[in-house]
Amino acid sequence: MNSFFLHLSIADWVNDAVNSFVTQYGDSFHNFSTALLRYVLVPLEGALRALPPWLILLVVGAITWNATRRLGIAGFFVLLLYAIGCFGLWDKLMQTLALMLVATVLSVALGVPLGIFTSRSAWLRRVLLPVLDIMQTLPSFVYLIPVLMLFGLGKVPAILATIIYALPPLIRLTDLGIRHVDADVVEAARAFGTTRWQLLVNVQLPLARPSIMAGINQTTMMALSMVVIASMIGSRGLGEDVLAGIQTLDVGKGTQAGIAIVILAIVIDRISQGYGQDRRTRRLLALRRKAKAVSRVPYKVAATEAGADESATGHTSSHASQGGVETGGLETRPAK
């Protein structure tokens, strides 16, 4: 049966190509990795860990309130993050947050311009969309192989693997949001003599903001989902505890770290969704909630007063049916 198939293997060819590429450009990748680690990731992580926890909780609460305009949700999120500190995972939370922030910022810096160029070029869209399909189809573990070959173990390859995994949704949704801007609005802006840059910055990007923010939201969630996988190649943080729990069958340790990751995902998701709406929409929603909350009280008061009036009317009519009732100093008697 095996003799029916011809022997075909590309493993040696791929290994030779990768080895020659690493030999030629290995120093450049090492310098980039060192610069990213020294000037971006380590200072950010050190700053987050040096700040007092209460200050970070206040900042998160203020950002949540500004995004959602709901004080209850902001307070609830602060309590959830405080619970992570009670688990003894605050430092690991800051490490994970720093890793995810760097990966998300780099993904946005790459994804939004690529999405803009894709929306303007049909040729680039035809070339890029199959590549994005492949990036979203490949298992996340596959991304670890090339970054390990180029950068070795550590936090920087974890960031780059996260970027590769989380980048496609942002490119797709940026392209989709710009291409779905109303053609009449674009035509009206061109009629007023706007340049291509003014059209993009003042018309297309503001109208495509909900779609772009949805892409950023998806990119952030996918970056957070890579936390556990990135811990396999040397990144620290909450994913390290989940991986240790799996390796040592310590269910409690893995569960605590998993709950912390879920809490962080919920907080970031709600904040990014809130900022996906413009300020006017957020204010209108906040005003509607306030008006709805205030309107419930007069209804209750009116219902209580109506019930009291009905009971008083019934009480008066019962007395009137029994005999004479004095009203306004006049005596009335039932007809005989």
Q: How confident is the model at residue 283 (pLDDT cuts 50, 70, 90)?
A: low
- What value does the mean pLDDT take over residues 175-187? 90
Q: How confident is the model at residue 58 (pLDDT cuts 50, 70, 90)?
A: very high
User: What's the CATH number where 195 sits?
Assistant: 1.10.3720.10
In the predicted structure, residue 326 carries a pLDDT above the cut 70? no
Structure-block tokens of residue 191: 């009629």
Q: What is the pLDDT of residue 113?
A: 93
What is the percent of the chain where pLDDT is above 90? Answer: 16
In a domain, 325, yes or no: no
In a domain, 220, yes or no: yes
Task: Measure the CA angle with vertex 150, ends 144 and 152; round to 5°.
Answer: 70
In a domain, 327, yes or no: no
Choice among 19-28, 115-124, 252-261, 320-329 with the minimum mean pLDDT? 320-329
Instruction: Say how far residue 165 (Cα) sits from the centre of its chain.
Output: 15
- What value does the mean pLDDT take over residues 170-183? 91
- What value does the mean pLDDT take over residues 3-29? 81
Rg over CA atoms, the chain: 31
Q: What is the pLDDT of residue 210?
A: 86
Q: Output the average pLDDT for the chain.
A: 81
Number of residues in the chain: 336
End-to-end C-alpha distance for the chain, whole angstroms? 115
Q: What is the pLDDT of residue 172?
A: 92
In a domain, 333, yes or no: no
Quote the number of domains for the chain: 1
In the predicted structure, residue 296 carries a pLDDT above the cut 80? no
Q: What is the pLDDT of residue 281?
A: 65
Q: What is the pLDDT of residue 109?
A: 92
In the predicted structure, residue 152 carries a pLDDT above the cut 80? no
Instruction: Say how far residue 137 (Cα) sits from the centre of its chain.
Output: 22
Q: How confident is the model at residue 222 (pLDDT cuts 50, 70, 90)?
A: confident
In a domain, 294, yes or no: no
In the predicted structure, residue 160 carries a pLDDT above the cut 80? yes
In the predicted structure, residue 147 carries a pLDDT above the cut 60? yes
Residue type (1 letter), 206: P
Q: Which phi and psi angles does 138 have, rounded to 5°?
A: -65, 140
Q: What is the pLDDT of residue 325?
A: 44
Residues 125 and 136: their CA atoms lie apart, in Å, by 16
Residue found by looking up tokens 């998701």 in the block: 269
What is the percent of the chain where pLDDT is above 70? Answer: 83
In the predicted structure, residue 76 carries a pLDDT above the cut 90? yes
**Nearest-10 Cα torsion for 186, 192, 193, 198:** -50
In the predicted structure, residue 328 carries a pLDDT above the cut 50? no
Residue 237: Cβ within 10 Å count:
28
List the one residue out of 255, 282, 253, 244 whose CA is nearest residue 73. Answer: 282
In a domain, 103, yes or no: yes
In a domain, 284, yes or no: yes
- What value does the mean pLDDT take over residues 178-202? 89
In a domain, 145, yes or no: yes
In the predicted structure, residue 305 carries a pLDDT above the cut 70? no
In the predicted structure, residue 150 carries a pLDDT above the cut 80? no
Helices (H), the chain: 11-36, 42-50, 53-68, 71-86, 90-120, 122-137, 144-151, 155-179, 183-191, 196-199, 205-207, 209-225, 227-230, 238-248, 251-275, 279-322
* Parent domain of 77: 10-289
